[in-house]
A and B are shown apart, each in its own frame.
Chain A
Amino acid sequence: MNNNLSDVEQRVKRYWYTDGIGELIGGGIFILLGIYFAAQQYLGENSLVGGLLQAGLVILLIGGMAIGRWLIKALKSRLTYPRTGYVEYRVDRESTNKRRIVVAVVAALVAAFSMVFAQRIASFLNLTLALTGILVGVILSFLQGRGSGLERFYVMGAISIVLGIVLSLSRLPDGYGLGLFYSLMGFSFIVSGGLTLRRYLQENPLPAEAERQNG
């Protein structure tokens, strides 16, 4: 009985990812990040614009996330809610804290690993890139994949790890390497989100107005 109820709960939680809109917007943010890192490398830290870019990363991230969230809500209101219904999720503080702890532990392990082994492996691979790929991959697999039970997030996690390691061997400068990594990951997100959205729209045509009389 409880197992069945847990299945229902997980299915309801998965509803957030049913349309792929989150991945499309997330992909866009990743591509912007990619452009940011590449531009920073191209302009150099000593130029005025390069310095401004460096100082603006936090603003870019916070602003990007706020605009992204607004865009997701707007798109869901137009595409998803009229087709399959509106849901507002609870902010589960306990699970949010657990997620934060997992991210912090992974980040700490990555930092410790890089400090211990940096000297030995820095000669043949770009450590920042490899670790970024692993970190993003772990977050995608363990938090998104395990939390939602959706296989596509495990695939994205694997792509991130492989991409991070492959690009780290390319000997590209940090900025270009990170730029390429985030751009390719963003592209992967957009492909995954786009395919999911296409399937969702095919499977869920807009109901006639009479059927949309919601209750």
Chain B
Amino acid sequence: MGNDLRALTELDRLIHEPARLLIVTILSTVESADFLFLQRETGLTKGNLSAHLSKLEEAGYVKIEKTFKGKLPLTVCKLAGAGRKALTQYRQQMQDFMTRTQ
């Protein structure tokens, strides 16, 4: 296996998944965002978004706070330090890969 391809195997698969990459990218731009905003921006269904957020939370990449606004539940998500670091590393790896293969 060439070095270029080997570099791909070292990618963080948790972030490499397109939906999760989108979620992490959105959260990297803001301080925090709620579930509704993430759902609209990603175009995912509630169930799908919940599942991806749970995986990211388990990995310590995202912090999720469940509160209430009036009678309605409000889920606010925030990118954790580990998530920000993982995204930066992922982008760098992808950039390097693209440069090498062009």
Contacts and interface: CB of A to CB of B under 8 A. Distances in A.
Interface stretch (A28-36, A87-95, A131-139): A87-95
Interface in B54-81: 66, 69, 72-76
A86 B33 contact: yes
Interface string A75-86: 000000100111
Shortest Cβ-Cβ A-B pairs, 4 listed: A85-B37, A215-B75, A215-B35, A85-B36
A212 B72 contact: yes
Contacts of B19: none
B30 A81 contact: no
B76 A86 contact: yes
Nearest to B38: A85
Contacts of B36: 81, 84-86, 212, 214-215
Contacts of B50: 215
Nearest to A83: B36
A12 B95 contact: no
Interface of A: 1-2, 5, 8-9, 11-13, 15, 81, 84-91, 209, 212-215
Contacts of B75: 214-215
7 contacts: A8-B29, A81-B36, A84-B37, A85-B39, A214-B34, A214-B35, A215-B73
Interface residues of B, number: 31
A215 B66 contact: yes
B29 A12 contact: yes
Interface of B: 21-22, 25-26, 28-41, 46, 50, 66, 69, 72-76, 91, 94-95, 98
Contacts of A2: 91, 94-95
Contacts of A12: 26, 29-30, 41
Contacts of A213: 72-73
A2 B21 CA distance: 11
Interface centre among A1, A87, A88, A213 (most CB of B within 10 A): A87
B37 A1 contact: no
Contacts of B91: 1-2, 5
A84 B38 CA distance: 9
B33 A1 contact: no
A84 B37 CA distance: 6
B83 to A, nearest CB: 14
Contacts of B95: 2
B38 A1 contact: no
Contacts of B72: 209, 212-214
A204 to B, nearest CB: 9
A12 B30 CA distance: 8
Given A8-B25, A8-B26, 18 more contacts: A1-B94, A5-B91, A9-B28, A9-B29, A12-B26, A13-B29, A85-B34, A85-B35, A85-B39, A86-B36, A86-B76, A88-B31, A90-B29, A90-B31, A214-B34, A214-B36, A214-B69, A215-B74
